[in-house]
C-alpha cells in the first residue's frame, strides 16, 4: 500500500519512519521546498519537492498509486489542507489529518492574527519586541511595529529576505528547536519584554519559547491556529498508526 504524507514538518518525517516499519507500506513525502525534501529523505521511500516538480497534486497521487493521504503539514498551512481535502474527495481516497497537540498558557495573550499581535505588543511593550514566527509574516509585523524595536529570529536561509525588511542588527539567523534557557538569554540580551509567536505546538518549539519568555519577564503573544473542520483527525501518532493498520486489515478482509 502506498501512503502519501504531506510534509515539510518533523511530524511528517516521524509518521513516515513509523509507517515504513510496517509490512508492505511504501511512503511518499511531499514538501514545499528542496530544503524540506533533503531533511525528509532518510525517513521516506520517496520524497517529492513541490518546489521543482511540475506535477499537480492530483498527478502525484495518481502517478504514485496512492491509497491513503495523510496531511501532516504545519498547523498554519491551511490552504494546503483545504486543497488536500478537496483532492482526496475528488479522487475518492481516505484523508487523515495529523494535528500537533495543543497546550494553552495562562500567562500568554492569544490573538487571531499577526496584525492583532503587533497592535497588542505595541500597547504593552516598553522595551523591544522579539518576533519568533518565521519570515512569512515578518513584513506585516514590521509595518505596524516599525524597524527600530523589533528583533526577528529567522532561519539562516531567510536572512537575505529579512535584510530587505529589518536592519541586520535586528536579525538573528538560527535554525532548530531551541531550549528554554537559550530563548530566555536571547530575550534578555536583546532587552525584549514581549515576544510574538504562533501556536506551532511542542514540535515547533512553542513551549520553550513561552517558558523562556516568562522566565525573562516577557509577555508571550501567541497567534492562534486557523480553524478548519477535519472529518478524520489524530493528535497522537500511535493512534494514527493503529487506524491505518486497522484500515489495511479491513481492506485485506474485504478483498478475500
pTM for the whole structure: 0.89
pLDDT tens for 13-47 read 999 999 998 878 999 999 988 878 888 999 999 99
Domains 2-101+227-255 and 109-223 share a fold: yes
Other Cβ atoms within 10 Å of 183 Cβ, number: 25
CA–centroid distance for 100 within its chain? 9
Give CA–CA dist 199/107, Å, rounded: 14
For residue 126, the model assigns a pLDDT of 97
Q: How many CA atoms lie within 13 A of 82 on its CB side?
A: 7
Give CA–CA dist 74/126, Å, rounded: 32
For residue 256, the model assigns a pLDDT of 53
pLDDT tens for 61-97 read 999 999 999 999 999 999 999 999 999 999 999 999 9
pLDDT tens for 132-157 read 999 999 999 999 999 999 999 999 99
What is the DSSP secondary structure assignment for residue 51, as one 8-state letter? T
Residue-range domain boundaries for the chain: 2-101+227-255, 109-223
141 burial (CB, 10 Å; 0-12 / 13-18 / 19+) is buried
As its CATH architecture, domain 109-223 has: 3-Layer(aba) Sandwich (3.40)
Adjacency order of strands within the sheet including 2-6: 46-49, 26-31, 2-6, 66-71, 95-98, 233-234
Q: Under CATH, which number does the domain 2-101+227-255 receive?
A: 3.40.50.720
Amino acid at each position: 500500500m502506498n501512503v502519501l504524507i504531506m510534509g515539510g514538518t518533523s511530524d511528517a518525517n516521524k509518521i513516515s519512519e513509523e509507517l515504513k516499519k510496517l509490512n508492505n507500506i511504501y511512503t511518499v513525502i511531499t514538501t514545499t521546498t528542496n530544503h524540506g525534501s533533503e531533511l525528509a529523505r532518510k525517513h521516506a521511500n520517496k520524497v517529492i519537492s513541490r518546489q521543482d516538480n511540475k506535477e499537480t497534486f492530483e498527478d502525484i497521487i495518481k502517478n504514485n498509486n496512492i491509497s491513503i493521504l495523510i496531511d501532516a503539514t504545519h498547523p498554519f498551512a491551511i490552504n494546503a489542507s483545504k486543497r488536500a481535502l478537496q483532492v482526496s474527495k475528488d479522487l475518492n481516497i481516505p484523508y487523515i489529518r495529523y494535528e500537533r497537540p495543543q497546550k494553552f498558557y495562562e500567562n500568554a495573550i492569544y490573538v487571531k492574527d499577526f496584525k492583532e499581535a503587533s497592535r497588542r505588543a505595541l500597547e504593552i511593550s516598553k522595551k523591544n519586541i522579539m518576533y519568533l514566527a518565521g519570515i512569512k509574516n515578518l513584513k506585516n509585523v514590521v509595518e505596524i511595529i516599525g524597524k527600530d524595536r523589533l528583533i526577528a529570529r529567522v532561519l539562516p536561509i531567510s536572512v537575505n529576505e529579512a535584510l530587505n525588511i529589518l536592519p541586520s542588527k535586528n536579525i538573528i539567523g538560527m535554525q532548530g528547536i531551541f531550549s528554554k534557557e537559550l530563548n530566555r538569554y536571547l530575550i534578555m540580551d536583546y532587552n525584549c519584554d514581549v515576544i510574538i509567536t504562533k501556536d506551532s505546538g511542542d514540535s515547533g518549539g512553542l513551549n520553550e519559547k513561552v517558558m523562556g519568555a516568562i522566565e525573562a519577564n516577557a509577555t508571550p503573544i501567541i497567534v492562534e491556529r486557523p480553524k478548519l473542520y477535519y472529518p478524520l483527525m489524530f493528535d497522537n501518532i500511535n493512534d494514527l498508526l493503529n487506524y491505518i493498520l486497522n484500515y489495511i486489515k479491513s481492506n485485506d478482509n474485504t478483498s478475500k
